[in-house]
């Protein structure tokens, strides 16, 4: 596992479009969330210890914020051929066992991950109603083994600000986790 920080896409960036299948084969795009007050896009996977560490907190966050008008999607861009634990079939199992209520999408070509300049799992992007990036950073300060409880404090503060029509803090700490497992020869040039 290579410990990798988020690239910290510039605030104000417009949400890149995508059309990706969920674990049932349904194609999901940002347009499916056009009536939502915010759109949360999380690059994640099944096996990364950093995602596994926040798994319950992420499921709870979705239960807390989806009813408040936040559209949420998880996207797995890992190379499933070389990392079979992240295959679409295993993603379906993960949704059920984790209790995720949001669509979990598979970016087989890795083009969507590149359009977001995603680097790690988890890599978190929060867009406001106008689909401008207002937060890209850590879930919270908890990491595997550091003893800090998983609360989602940083992301929750950003979500609360967006839902209240306020600005998010410009001080944002990069998310950190496992690098996205790029297909051989498909590595992005933004590192």
Summarize pLDDT for 115-160 with one digit per residue, the tens.
999 999 999 999 999 999 999 999 999 999 999 999 999 999 999 9
Query: In the chain, pLDDT over 70 holds for what percent of residues?
Result: 99
Q: Residues 158-180: what's their mean pLDDT?
A: 95
Residue 1 confidence class, pLDDT cut points 50, 70, 90: low
Q: What is the pLDDT of residue 2?
A: 67
Summarize pLDDT for 15-28 with one digit per residue, the tens.
999 999 999 999 99
* 3-8+21-179 classified as CATH 3.40.30.10: yes
Domain ranges of the chain: 3-8+21-179
Q: What is the pLDDT of residue 170?
A: 86
Pairing between strand 120-121 and 104-106?
unpaired
Pairing between strand 38-43 and 123-127?
antiparallel
- Stated pTM of the model: 0.97
Q: What is the pLDDT of residue 190?
A: 85
pLDDT at 175 over 60: yes
Distance CA 39, CA 70 (A): 6
The answer to whether the beta carbons of residues 121 and 45 sit under 8 Å apart is: yes
Distance CA 57, CA 47 (A): 16
Least Cα distance to 79 among 31, 45, 55, 32 occurs for 45
Q: Residues 64-81: what's their mean pLDDT?
A: 98
Q: Residues 102-118: what's their mean pLDDT?
A: 98
Give the chain's mean pLDDT. Answer: 96
The answer to whether the beta carbons of residues 143 and 49 sit under 8 Å apart is: no
């Amino acid at each position: 596992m290579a410990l990798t920080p988020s690239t910290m896409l510039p605030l104000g960036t417009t949400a890149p479009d995508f059309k990706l299948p969920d674990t049932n084969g349904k194609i999901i795009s940002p347009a499916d969330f056009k009536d939502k007050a915010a759109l949360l896009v999380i690059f994640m996977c099944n096996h990364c210890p950093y995602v596994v560490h926040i798994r319950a907190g992420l499921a709870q966050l979705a239960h807390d914020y989806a009813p408040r008008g936040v559209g949420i999607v998880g996207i797995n861009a890992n190379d499933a051929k070389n990392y079979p634990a992240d295959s679409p079939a295993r993603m379906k199992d993960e949704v059920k066992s984790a209790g995720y209520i949001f669509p979990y999408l598979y970016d087989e070509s890795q083009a969507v991950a590149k359009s977001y300049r995603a680097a790690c799992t988890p890599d978190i992007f929060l867009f406001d109603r106008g689909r401008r990036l207002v937060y890209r950073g850590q879930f919270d300060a908890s990491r595997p083994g550091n003893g800090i409880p998983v609360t989602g404090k940083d992301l929750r503060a950003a979500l609360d600000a967006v839902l209240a029509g306020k600005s998010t803090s410009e001080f944002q700490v990069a998310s950190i986790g496992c690098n996205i497992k790029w297909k051989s020869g498909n590595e992005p040039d933004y590192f």
